[in-house]
Amino acid sequence: MLDISLGQYYPGNSFIHRLDPRTKILSTLLLIIAVFLANSAIGYGTLCAMVLLIIAVSGLPFMLVLKSVKPLLFIIVLTLVLHALMGQGEHVLYQWKFIRVTEEGLQLGVQMAMRLILLLMISSILTFTTSPIVLTDGIEALLRPFRVIGVPAHELAMMMTIALRFIPTLMEETDRIIKAQTARGADFSGGNLLVRAKNMLPILVPLFISAFRRADDLAIAMEARCYRGGEGRTRMHQLAYRSGDVLAFVFAFAMIGLLAFLRWGLKLV
Amino acid sequence: MSIKLDHVSYTYMPGTPYEKEAVKDVSLEIQKGEFVAVIGHTGSGKSTLVQNLNGLLHPTQGTASLDGTDLSGKTGEAKQARGRIGMVFQYPEHQLFAETVYEDVAFGPRNLGLSSEEVEVRVREAMKFVGLDFDTYAPRSPFSLSGGQMRRAAIAGVVAMNPDYLILDEPSAGLDPGSRNNLFAEIMALYKKRGIGIIMVTHSMEEAAKYAKRMLVICKGQIILDGKPAEIFLKEKECLLNAGMDVPEVYKLADALRVKGMRLPYEITDAKLLLAEVKRRKGLK
């Protein structure tokens, strides 16, 4: 139970690790746009090279980043197979009843799968190189302009921070409660869905009670330290753009430009 | 009749950067009818050790067994053996969940598959042992009780399993002195009446000195001392201090008096005995 590592931050001190979280979030969004622009083998090749370059700069083990694809592997394979078997187009390679494998279908399937893999890898590089707390800071800073239309940026960030902070605590608690009820002969496996849900009660009730108790305690502790929301609050770690961040933005926009050129530009030339 | 650990090691999260060996090559035998205190400073591995004793954690290496049955097995026999060892965790009141005290205490016996008459007998017995009046408290919500009463209700839930061995992980943590004394009186009554084995993890040297017949001192995942509390406190003071622990105040006071020239016997285990002895020496009433 306690083996689940929180988030997937991989500590390091690379160029990517040191970037401002706002830069990383925005660049990730820009690179995702770049991925959606790709529509040719050259485009996907460029993107693969780009991801490899970023991984090399970040100092993350390549296999670690590749593993982030695992949770969605089933969907990726399904996408590939469906596109391959239900192909549209003229160059039929194989046909049997309604199954039709075409060159175009295969190509589309590979492209879709590549797109998913690249998206997963790019976004996981963000979470691998940014600790959850810094990420929250970044999100808060990026949401701040939207306060004028009523987005509670600080409150959202505070909620995220608190949630992150309590995940390990609650997991420990869950672990202990499960053990305690197991020692009293509770059985959590077997039975249909309803029986199983009922078996979970001896875990869920104490867990909820303790979560509420902790929330109360935390609220009092925060109030005792004069917390009164985000208004006029200064922070210990000021976010500041540095020259590296400019470089990252230039890189991200260059990628979009390159992919846009590969998509539309080549035809014009 | 004994719980046996044979060269048991336990490692948390093996094969990860967070790997930690909490128990190292421990061999141990605890007989039914023993009252064993387990002491050690925070992080010494005492909680891990006791969870290996009742099959909640399965040793990474070595075996834990009850009367020859491997506790980490998946057979019905192993499950039954685990059921014979009750475990009261730290702050057991945090595990209460049912709508009434009766339902909560009955949870364990019901899981044993007993009939509802038998369950009621068990609940009545267990509540009596922990000093909760059945008619008053059985129909009440456990969450309406005071802290001390909640803890007793939770302990009753384990006692109702009729275990042959009872493991208590810091049973007195967070209780006021009155509730603490009551709790120990009840535990001792249970121990004497049923002749079960009790294994108690504690931070309090005083509690260990007062109640236990045998004491295990854990340091860095290993048992460094194993013997009668009085002997350990008298002879192994250096060793205890090195392991980050201390001897009870009454031993310190007796030692100081001995240094001043008062000839005191070495069987002094609590303040009352010391006071009586001092009065006797000085010819006071």
DSSP B112-155: TT--HHHHHHHHHHHHHHTT--HHHHTTS-GGGS-HHHHHHHHH
All residues at 6 or more sequence positions from A108 whose CB lies less than 8 Å from its CB, including other chains? A83, A87
Indicate which of B53, B95, B105 best probes the interface with A, i.e. most A CBs within 10 Å of its own CB.
Answer: B95
pLDDT, one tens digit per residue, over B99-115 is 999 999 999 999 888 99
The answer for residues whose C-beta is within 8 angstroms of residue A218's C-beta and 6 or more apart is A162
d(CA A30, CA A26): 6
Say what the pLDDT of residue B34 is: 93
Q: Which candidate from B12, B94, B108 shows the least CB-CB separation from A184?
A: B108
Q: Tell me how far apart the terminal alpha carbons of chain B are, to the nearest angstrom.
A: 47
Tokens, residue B163: 């275990």
B161-184 pLDDT tens trace: 999 999 999 998 888 888 888 889
B65 forms beta bridges with B4, B70
Burial of residue B121, with CB atoms counted within 10 A of its CB: 0-12 exposed, 13-18 middle, 19 or more buried: middle
User: Which residues numbered 207-266 in A keep a CB inside 8 Å of some CB on B?
Assistant: 209-210
- Give the ipTM of the model, two decimals please: 0.82
Are B110 and A184 in contact, with CB atoms under 8 Å apart?
no
Q: Pick B107's closest partner by Cβ from A177, A202, A210.
A: A202
Chain B contacts in chain A segment 118-157 (CB below 8 A): none
Q: Would the CB atoms of A184 and B54 count as touching at under 8 Å?
A: no
Q: Do A177 and B94 touch (CB under 8 A)?
A: yes
Give the separation between CA B24 and CA B222, rounded to whole angstroms.
6
Query: 3-class SS at A40?
Result: coil
The predicted model gives B209-219 an average pLDDT of 90
Establish if A176 touches chain B: CB-CB under 8 angstroms.
yes
Q: Is B12 helix (H, G, I), strand (E, B) or coil?
A: strand
User: Is B89 close to A185, i.e. CB distance below 8 A?
Assistant: no
Q: Does A173 touch chain B (CB under 8 A)?
A: yes
A177 contact residues in B (CB cutoff 8 A) = 94-95
- Please check whether residue B250 is in contact with residue B277, taking contact to mean a CB–CB distance below 8 angstroms: no
Q: Please indicate whether, in this complex, the C-beta atoms of B86 and A183 are within 8 angstroms of each other.
A: yes
**Across the interface, do B161 and A184 touch by the CB < 8 Å criterion?**
yes
Which of A184, A201, A216 is the best mutation test for B, with the most CBs of B within 10 A? A184
What count of other Cβ atoms lies within 10 Å of the Cβ of residue A200?
Answer: 15
* Bridge partners, B202 (sequence order): B39
Task: Report the pLDDT averaged over residues A97-125.
Answer: 87
Class of domain B1-84+163-229: alpha beta
Closest CA to B168 of B144, B203, B121, B219: B203
Closest residue, chain A, to B166 (C-alpha)? A183
Give the pLDDT band of residue A2 (cuts 50, 70, 90): very low
Averaged pLDDT, A75-93: 82
Report pLDDT for B113: 87
- DSSP H helix total and E strand total for chain A: 11, 2
What residue in B sits closest to A5 (Cα-Cα)?
Answer: B18
Which residue, B101, B93, B51, is CA-closest to B72? B51
Written as six digits, the tokens of B177 are 């002195």
Contact B86 A3 (CB under 8 A): no
Q: Using a CB-CB distance cutoff of 8 angstroms, which residues of chain A are in contact with residue B98?
A: 202, 205
- Name which of B82, B97, B143 is nearest A201 (Cβ-Cβ): B97
Kindly compute the dihedral angle of the four CA atoms of residues B57, B58, B60, B62, in this order, to the nearest 10 degrees: 130
Average pLDDT along chain A: 86
Q: Would an 8 Å CB–CB cutoff place B108 in contact with chain A?
A: yes
CA-CA-CA-CA torsion sign (B232, B233, B238, B239): positive
So what's the pLDDT on residue A269? 62
> A7 CB near a chain B CB, below 8 Å?
no
* Average confidence (pLDDT) over B51-72: 89
A179 to chain B nearest CA, in Å?
A: 6
Picking from A5, A176, A209, the nearest residue to B89 by CB comes out as: A176
Q: Are B194 and B14 in contact (CB under 8 A)?
A: no
What is the rounded CA–CA span in Å between residue B239 and residue B269?
A: 19
Distance from CA of A183 to the nearest CA of B (A): 6
Q: Is the pLDDT of residue A200 over 50?
A: yes
Q: Are B157 and B111 in contact (CB under 8 A)?
A: no
- B95 Cβ under 8 Å from any chain A Cβ: yes
Separation of alpha carbons B88 and B151, rounded Å = 10
Mean pLDDT check: name the lowest of A209-213, B70-74, B182-186, B262-266. Answer: B262-266
β-bridge partners, A96: A99
Q: Where are the domain boundaries for CATH 3.40.50.300 in chain B? A: 1-84+163-229
Are the CB atoms for A185 and B83 separated by under 8 Å? yes
| pLDDT surpassing 80 at residue A79 | yes
Tokens of B277: 């002895």
B97 CB near a chain A CB, below 8 Å? yes
Q: What is the mean pLDDT of residues B209-213?
A: 89
Check if B201 contacts A (Cβ < 8 Å).
no
Burial A167-191 (b: 16+ CB within 10 A, else e): eeeeeebbebbbbbbbbbbbeeeee
Query: In this complex, is the C-beta atom of A202 within 8 Å of any C-beta atom belonging to chain B?
Result: yes
How many angstroms separate the CA atoms of B63 and A225, rounded?
A: 50
Chain A nearest CA to B284, separation (Å) = 51
For chains A and B, count residue pairs whose Cβ atoms are closer than 8 Å. Answer: 60
Question: Which residue pairs from B188-191 have beta carbons closer than 8 angstroms and sit at least 24 positions apart in sequence?
Answer: B189/B129, B190/B129, B190/B159, B190/B166, B191/B35
pLDDT per residue over A169-183, tens digit each?
A: 888 889 889 989 988
Query: What's the mean pLDDT in B238-252?
Result: 85
Do the Cβ atoms of B87 and A201 come within 8 Å?
no
User: Does residue B44 contact residue B36 with C-beta atoms inside 8 Å?
Assistant: no
The pLDDT assigned to A4 comes to 40
Task: From residue B194, give the alpha-carbon distance in Å to each of B38, B165, B184, B207.
Answer: 21, 10, 15, 21
Tell me the sheet residues that pair with B37: B200, B215
